[in-house]
Every structure is written in structure tokens, then in C-alpha cells.
Chain A
Amino acid sequence: MDTFDNFLNSNLQSDNIDLDLDNSSFNQLHYMVNLNATKSEVKKNSIFGFLTDFASPKFIVAKLAFVVVLFILIIGNKENRVNESFVFLCDSTHIQNNSFDTTATYNNQVSDSLFN
């Protein structure tokens, strides 16, 4: 490294310019930080607000009824799924049997035509 490099290293870092930022621009930035904080608070409230309201003791009977209905729907949905999968299994066994029969018939036909 040359001496000019040393000069630059030691003197440019201490160089100052007569320049400062206005308070108004700083305040505007602060306002934006606050605005973002409010936005995220609103988002949080929209997610947890429902749960908080639900946990309050108001309209407790209606809420219980709602939970019971929800529970019944979930159970019903589960049973339907079991039935559907059973039907599907039956169908697939039927298809398998059919294809087995068709292949057997075809094989018989081919061997007949070959040897007769």
C-alpha cells in the first residue's frame, strides 16, 4: 500500500459536510412507523378478536349450541368419508375382477386360435 492510500484512509473518514436532516422529515418517518404498528395491531385484532369475543361469558347458550352443531357436523363428515372410501374400495375390487375376467377370456381366445 502506498502513502497516498494511508492518507486517504486516515483523512476521508473524518471529513464532514455541513449538512443536516430536517426534523419534519424525521417526524414523517416516525409517523410511518406508527402507522405500520397500527396496521399490524389491526391485523392481530382481526385474528384474535374472534377468539377473545368467543371466550367472553356473553351469549353462552348460543355459543354452546354453535359448538355442539359444529361437533355434529364434524362427526357426520367423518362417517361420510368412511362410507365413501368403502364404496370406492368395493368399486375398485369390482373393476379388478372384471379386468381379470376379460384378460382370462382374451387369453383363452388367443390360445384357441393358436392351437385350433
Chain B
Amino acid sequence: MNLNLFRNKDLTDEELLISISNGNNDAFNNLYSRYKDRLLYYFYRMLFQDKELAKDFVQEIFIKIINKPHLYNPNMKFSTWIFSVANNMCKNEYRRQDIRKNTISCENPDTFNNEDFSDNNHEPAIKLIFTQLERFDESHKSAFLLKYREGFSIDEISNVLDLPVGTIKSRLFYTRKKLQENIKNNHPELIEQLNLQ
């Protein structure tokens, strides 16, 4: 069993998926440990920072992987594919909760809470960014997370979200611009800390 675990570590995600469909538990452990934290973070940030919902979604996505491995599109990298599945699950959840009605339009995401962010530690600044990000719609949020959290390229984000490259670029630019403007206007003490010009 330990030998299997050692062998599985060298396998690609795609090879692990094939092993899982043949009932290989070690392959599953490996894939699970590679993706669980990344997916948990993604769902947490996408789904209104709801911890329980994020956990449920991670469970659900792994159930899909176990029961329907044939749905994997071999033309895509596994990481791109799994995040596109995750993104579709979030979209469905947004639809289900009809959240769009309640989301403040990203044309005017200008309200902030009045926390003290003057600390030199980056944590509060990041917290502020994510508080602000909650006010953007799902596709802006998703593109932002995939770029800055997951480190995906623009092409990969375009595949995940099924949108043209130009659209992704403009959404990222817009999100960054709005975040900067709001921080400059409402939290000038953070300008230096966040390297804003």
C-alpha cells in the first residue's frame, strides 16, 4: 500500500483520475490532498464566505469525480477542468439563491465598513480586498480568484469561465481598478501598504 502511495505521488492528475475510476484508494487520497484546500478556499470566497456551504461543495465535487470520471474533458488540463466544474456549481448556487438581485451592482461597489486597517500586517488589507470583492458579480470574482489565488494564466481562466480572453482581461482590469479607487477614497492609510500609486 505504501509502495502504491509512493508511486501515485509521481502520477499526473489525469493518471490519478484513471486510477480512481479503477477503485484505487491511494490515488484518490493523493488527488484529494492536492485539491481539497484549493477548492475549499475557492468555494469559500465564491459562496459568500459560508464555511459550511464551502465544505458541502467540496464534498459534492469529489463525489462527481468518483462517480462520473468519464465527464472529464481530456482536451483540458485537470486543474482547469475541475475549476470549471467548481465555477459551474457556484453559478448554479447563485441562480438557486437568486443572489443577483441582492448583489450590489459592480458599477457602484463603493461602500466600505469602517474597520481600522492601519496595521502594517497585510492580513487586514487582504480582508478588506475580499470584503470589497463580495460586491462584485460572480464572474468578476471568479476571474480575480483564479488569477491571483490560483495563479492561472489568462488563457486558462478563459477556459474555466468559457469566456473570450479579451473579456477576462477587461474584467480583471475593471476589478483591480475599482478596488484601487475604493481603497484610495476610503482607506488612504492603506495606499502605501498596498503599493498603490
Binding site for B on A (CB under 8 A): 2-9, 11-13, 15, 17, 19, 21-22, 25-26, 28-30, 32-34, 36-38, 40-41
Contact = CB atoms under 8 A, between A and B. Distances in A.
A111 B176 CA distance: 93
A18 to B, nearest CB: 9
Contact of B23 (A5, A7, A11, A34): A34
Q: Which secondary structure dominates chain A's binding surface?
A: helix
Given A3-B195, A32-B67, A22 B122 contact: no
A3 B194 CA distance: 8
Given A30-B28, A37-B22, A13 B66 contact: no
Nearest to A26: B32
Nearest to B172: A5
A4 B183 CA distance: 11
Contacts of A7: 194-195
A11 B122 contact: yes
Contact of A25 (B59, B67, B176, B180): B59
B176 A13 contact: no
A2 B194 CA distance: 11
A19 B51 CA distance: 7
Contact of A4 (B44, B63, B180): B180
A3 B196 CA distance: 6
A29 B66 CA distance: 8
B197 interface: yes
A96 B67 CA distance: 60
B41 interface: yes
B23 A9 contact: no
Nearest to B28: A33
B21 A36 contact: yes
B76 interface: no
B102 to A, nearest CB: 23
A88 to B, nearest CB: 44
Contacts of A40: 22-23
Nearest to A3: B195
Given A11-B122, A13-B149, A29-B63, 16 more contacts: A4-B176, A4-B194, A7-B195, A12-B148, A12-B149, A13-B148, A21-B58, A29-B28, A29-B32, A32-B66, A33-B20, A33-B23, A33-B28, A34-B25, A36-B21, A37-B25
